[in-house]
Amino acid sequence: MRLLNTTSPDFEAGFAALLIRAQTAPALSAAVADIIARVRAEGDAALLDYTRQFDRLEMEASGLRVPQSAIAAALARQPTELRDALELAAARIKTFHEAQLPRDFESVDATGATTGLRWGALDAVGLYVPGGKAAYPSSVLMNAIPARVAGVERIAMTVPAPGGVLNPLVLAAAGIAGVDEIYQIGGAQAVAALAYGTASIRPVDRIVGPGNAYVAEAKRQVFGQVGIDSIAGPSEVLILADEANDPRHVALDLLAQAEHDEDAQSILITTNAAFAAAVQNAVMSALSNLTRAPIAAESWRRHGGIILVRGWDEAVTLANRIAPEHLQLMLDDPAPIFRQIRHAGAVFLGRHTPEAMGDYVAGPNHVLPTSGTARFASGLSVYDFMKRTTYVGLTPEALSALGPAAITLATAEGLTAHAGSVAIRIPKA
């Protein structure tokens, strides 16, 4: 864990080192390319071989798809309290994303020209769900529900089943979200199958969902054949907190990100050195009570940080430079600071809004830009599952009014057929 102070002469070097993220190794890129090429060439046979190799699961092509009965059974077996929690989360996610739905528009200008924009849903989406260190039914809801709200008719979900074990909570979440096309495959091979298709799996138009480095690299390599949501990096949180907070609250908020993965990052910015020390002590104390303590401890050791600043304006400047995935503003009145934040995937306002609420039941999407990409990217939304089509309709009068300018510009660009296709339709005076 790095403790930085903006008054130190070596602060900039330490700050830069804190934000360095690992790059994709060339060997990994080559391995992923080989997997994709083999799936394209061999289809189901390659999927079955990789599933045998990586997931220790022997099966025939007919067993790739999870039967609807298994999804229904998993949902039925969930305890009432857990099922109610999933359904509450699903309802809030649905309501929030329904409010995002865009509207078509059309206008007719003074020349008589009609211009407009029409929104339409994608035909098919692939949803990748991790099945390694932890199962995330919340990610199923966050990815599938916006697609359903957008109007996507087909959602094909892939989830690895190591040793033949499928997490029943993931299947239950799929059932609640209305996803019934599920394949028990994972890794780069699943991404390749969704992008290019096999005999058992029809290709999709966009692939969304988190995964390990192989999955992220596979999404990078199939982009162009299909759309993708993003190349997601490890999870991260930045917390701006003053000394009026309980250090234990801040410590658990930091560890809530750290327990995701050894590569996750948690950073605290504060103006008070005593409070910073108290939070550090609280982190070490809280670690002993975590189920995933070894993972959280390694994340905090390798990537954690506490930054002491001289004031909140300085904190805002650093926050915008970091452009974090999650930003918590743990202040009595976060509004003035929030107004100055330009780059963040999602912001959590006040002392009573832990980021963990956003992971589950708040409503906004928890699939967010990482590794500083909040400078130019946004979280998952209904827009990721829709596309825009513009249209134009001209009357003879509108063509006559607007055409000469088009002819002039086309001629200037040396595109005489462009100019001619307009000119031939305009009556000679």
Residue 326 is among the residues annotated as catalytic for this protein: yes
- Is the whole model's pTM more than 0.75, yes or no? yes
How are strands ordered across the β-sheet holding 227-228? 181-183, 154-158, 124-128, 206-208, 227-228
Which tens digit of pLDDT belongs to each residue from 53-85? 999 999 999 999 999 999 999 999 999 999 999
Give the separation between CA 184 and CA 166, rounded to whole angstroms.
8
- Say what the pLDDT of residue 232 is: 85
- Say what the pLDDT of residue 133 is: 54
Nearest to 382 by CA among 150, 153, 108: 150
Degrees, nearest 5: CA angle 341-147-227? 80
- Say what the pLDDT of residue 26 is: 86
Give all domains of the chain, ordered by start, each with its CATH number.
2-21+233-362 (3.40.50.1980), 26-104+120-228 (3.40.50.1980)
Of 97, 260, 303, 326, which one is the catalytic site residue?
A: 326
Give the separation between CA 184 and CA 299, rounded to whole angstroms.
30
- Say what the pLDDT of residue 305 is: 97
Of 181, 217, 259, 325, which one is the catalytic site residue?
A: 325
- Say what the pLDDT of residue 233 is: 87
Instruction: List the chain residues with pLDDT less than 70.
Output: 22-24, 132-134, 429
Q: What angle, rounded to 10 degrees, do the helices at 68-77 and 168-177 form?
A: 100
**pLDDT over 90 percentage in the chain:** 93
- Say what the pLDDT of residue 348 is: 98
- Say what the pLDDT of residue 22 is: 65
- Say what the pLDDT of residue 21 is: 74
- Say what the pLDDT of residue 20 is: 85
- Say what the pLDDT of residue 108 is: 98
